Amino acid sequence: MLLSCQKYNLYLPCSSVHYTNNPTSTIVKCQNSNEQHPILRKHNAKSTAFLLHHLSHKDSDSDDDHRSPSDLQDPTPHEEKVKLLELSLVRKRTPQFPGSIYAQSPSDPDVGSSLPPLSTMFRSSEDEEEEMIMRALEIRRKVTEEVFKEAMRKGKFGITYTTNLVSRITGFIDYIMIEAANLKRLPEYSHSTFNLRAKTVIEDSQVVSLVRWLKHNSLSYPQIAKLILMTRGKLDLIRNRVDWLKSVHVKGEFIGNAMLKSGDNILLRSNKELDEIVEYLESSGVRRDWMGYVISRCPELLSYSSEEVKTRVQFFLDMGLDEKDFGTMVFDFPRVLGYYTLEEMNQKINYLKEFGLQSKDVGKLLAFRPQLMACSIDEQWKPLVKYLYYYGIDRDGMRRMLTLKPMVFCADLQMTIVPKVKFFQDIGVRNDAIGNMLVKFPTLLTYSLDKKIKPVVVFLMTKAGVSERDIGKVVALGPELLGCSIVHKLEVNVKYFLSLGIRLRQLGEMIADFPMLLRYNIDVLRPKYSYLRKTMVRTLQDLIEFPRFFSYSLDGRIIPRHKVLVENQINVKLRYMLGSTDEEFNKMVKALIRKRQRFQSAVMKEDPSNPQSVITKDITTLET
């Protein structure tokens, strides 16, 4: 039976094919030519459509010769084009079902050998053509990634590590893709597949062995990926720079950080330029074995030219630092040399001078605490100055705090200083005493509140007999106590005084009168107490009434003055014996001698036969 389908004659034994614009073909049974019952068949729709399209082009070859490419109607849908593109660019062949019109054979030299030419797919609009090209590039990039992953797997790298690394080196994957495309221009690669060319590029670059070497040097995969991107394909620069960093004693765990933070041009600089920087720093006081530590903590130094490094070094030398102080400063805080701009450092130096410091004083301050350069003027120093001024600390007091403990100006005001001051107020220290206490012992502000200050206060109140009423006085008069070790200092001294027979309540009163009592070493206390009891023949009550006795030098004051009193047969309380200057002490002795002589004269007049008596009466009050 002969049926007509548009203008084609198809001889089918028992069916007729009717082609429409719908990709679904309509099959009609031929029992009756007048009655047609369409039955939809979708599994051969594409085959039928392409067959009819092929026949139509054969019949209209002469007409197509006169049409422009833009007039040709592309029968392939967009989704079909994408599938065709993927099939032509994929690295591995996808399984095909039997009877597929795009059959791929394992014996095909190229995966796209059985596919239609890609040139026939771009007969549509420019926008669609550009979209298909971008799609092709994306597919080719994925193919390159698969080739790179296979090379990494052959290098004994894990799947997770390889996937994470590839996700961060997109630029290097594009470099491999471009180089592989360029190889096609060479005669020996003109007929090779893209996969083979990409594999050749990867092997020639030795990127797999380089990744393994960098990983062995303690570099993480994000650092390795960033370094690979910095090379722009010249991977030998990485190995060269790592060897140089090792030559200046940079340890493996810091090599990646040093290379990544030393500027984008670190891989392009010559070893001679870098050697000049190292030699100049060494001549300025930075020891050779310190160089690796300095560079690993401040790799920005390697991004500067030799002239700029010399300018920065001279900036500190002009403040009076010698080579030894400069080298120690750089070792303590390497970032002081290369992390901050010269303008920023000048502003901080000028602000410190406003406290009354000279350039040489600031230089000594930075040599001792170079971390000051890391502080912000507006965010740290100005709020701190305002806060200290509120508690009565003037510029001279701040200068003393800055000189004795410059770390105070590096502390966080709200998190570190304010909670401590609030605690001192809670235990009874007055605001005016807080200012004096901080000026006297600024180190107090650097102690931990929960681990150092509070435990000492609790110990004084529970183990040393200090009452709640006197604890504020003790802290205000002796803030140095808060820095003492409870186990090795305070507890040992408390046990010693209690062993002398002093009661706990009496000891608390002694500490309230003289808080520094608990800071002396036992080796200093023991000989003084022995001399008091055995040589001076004084009672324990004398010591309880005057605990400052332990603060005076045994050979320099106690023994000489005791000898003077013994020679002149005078006995006075300890506070009058030791609590005065030498001039006042001599006046007191002479006054007592005259008073005794007047008393003796009066006695002799009343009873001349009475022998001369010796006065041993205690003098409780004395007017000088």
Q: How confident is the model at residue 6 (pLDDT cuts 50, 70, 90)?
A: very low
Q: Is 24's pLDDT higher than 60?
A: no
Count of Cβ atoms closer than 10 Å to residue 125 Cβ: 11
CB 88 within 8 A of CB 114: no
- Residue 126 pLDDT greater than 80, yes or no: no
pTM to 2 decimals?
0.62
Q: Which residues of 243-271 are buried (b: 16+ CB within 10 A; e: fewer)?
A: ebbeebebeeebbbbbbbebbeebbebee
Determine the pLDDT at residue 457: 92
Round the CA-based radius of gyration of the chain to a whole number and report it: 47
Angle at 526 between CA 521 and CA 528, to 5 degrees: 105
Q: What is the pLDDT of residues 463-487, one digit of tens each?
A: 888 888 989 899 998 898 888 888 8
Categorize the per-residue pLDDT at 505 as very low, low, confident or very high, splitting at 50, 70 and 90: very high
Taking the C-alpha atoms of 106, 107, 112 and 114 in order, what is their torsion angle to the nearest 10 degrees? -100
d(CA 434, CA 437): 5
For residue 528, what pLDDT is reported?
Answer: 92
- Is 120's pLDDT higher than 80? no
Indicate whether 20 pLDDT > 50: no
Mean pLDDT for the stretch of residues 587-613: 71
**Average pLDDT for 492-499:** 91
- Among the listed residues 131, 110, 107, 106, the one whose alpha carbon sits nearest the alpha carbon of residue 121: 131
Residue 84 pLDDT exceeds 80: no
Question: Is it the case that residue 3 has pLDDT exceeding 80?
Answer: no
Non-local CB neighbours of 162 within 8 Å, separated by 6+ positions = 149, 152, 153
- Asked whether the predicted pLDDT for residue 510 surpasses 80, the reply is yes
Between CA 96 and CA 75 the distance in angstroms is: 22
pLDDT tens for each residue of 361-399: 888 888 888 888 888 888 888 899 999 888 888 888 888
Average pLDDT, whole number, for the chain? Answer: 77
- Of all residues in the chain, the percent with pLDDT exceeding 90 is 7
Res 455: pLDDT? 92
- Closest by CA to 571, choosing from 614, 528, 624, 613, is 614
pLDDT at residue 26 above 50?
no
- Alpha carbons 312 and 473: distance in angstroms, whole number: 49
| pLDDT score at 21 | 43
CA dihedral 18, 21, 23, 28 (to 10 degrees): -20
Confidence bin at 7 (pLDDT 50/70/90): very low
The predicted structure's pLDDT at residue 495: 92
User: Is pLDDT above 80 for 208?
Assistant: yes
Cβ atoms within 10 Å, residue 300: 18
Task: Return d(Cα 17, Cα 47) in angstroms, integer.
Answer: 12
Tokens representing 78 are: 């967009």
Q: Residue 8 forms beta bridges with which residues?
A: 5
The reported pLDDT for the residue numbered 565 is 87
Which residues, 6 or more positions from 599, have their beta carbon under 8 angstroms from its beta carbon? Answer: 615
pLDDT above 80 (res 268): no
**Beta carbons of 437 and 444 less than 8 angstroms apart:** yes
As a whole number, mean pLDDT of residues 506-520 equals 90
Helices and strands (H and E) in the chain: how many: 31, 5
Residue 285 reports pLDDT greater than 80? yes
Does residue 254 or residue 541 have the better pLDDT? 541
Q: Distance (Å, rounded) from C-alpha 26 to C-alpha 20?
A: 8
The SS3 of residue 9 is strand
98 pLDDT above the threshold of 60: no
pLDDT above 70 covers a percentage of the chain that reads 75
Most confident of the ranges 207-221, 270-284, 317-331, 410-424: 410-424
Distance from C-alpha of 340 to C-alpha of 260, rounded to nearest angstrom: 18
User: Which of 114-123, 239-248, 488-497 has the highest average model confidence (pLDDT)?
Assistant: 488-497
Distance CA 550, CA 554 (A): 9
- The answer on pLDDT for 103 being more than 80 is no
- Tell me the residue type at 251: K
Asked whether the CA dihedral 281, 282, 288, 290 is positive or negative, the reply is negative
pLDDT attached to residue 594: 85
Cα–Cα distance for residue pair 315/259, rounded to 1 Å: 26
Spatial separation of the C-alpha atoms in residues 597 and 608, rounded to whole Å: 15
382-402 CB burial, b ≥16 within 10 A, e <16: eebbeebeebebeeebbbbbb
Question: Which residues have C-beta within 8 Å of that of residue 189, sequence separation ≥ 6?
Answer: 183, 196, 197, 200
User: Which has the closest alpha carbon to 420: 447, 439, 400, 396?
Assistant: 447
Strand partners, 25: 41
Hey, what are 382's tokens?
Answer: 């100005």
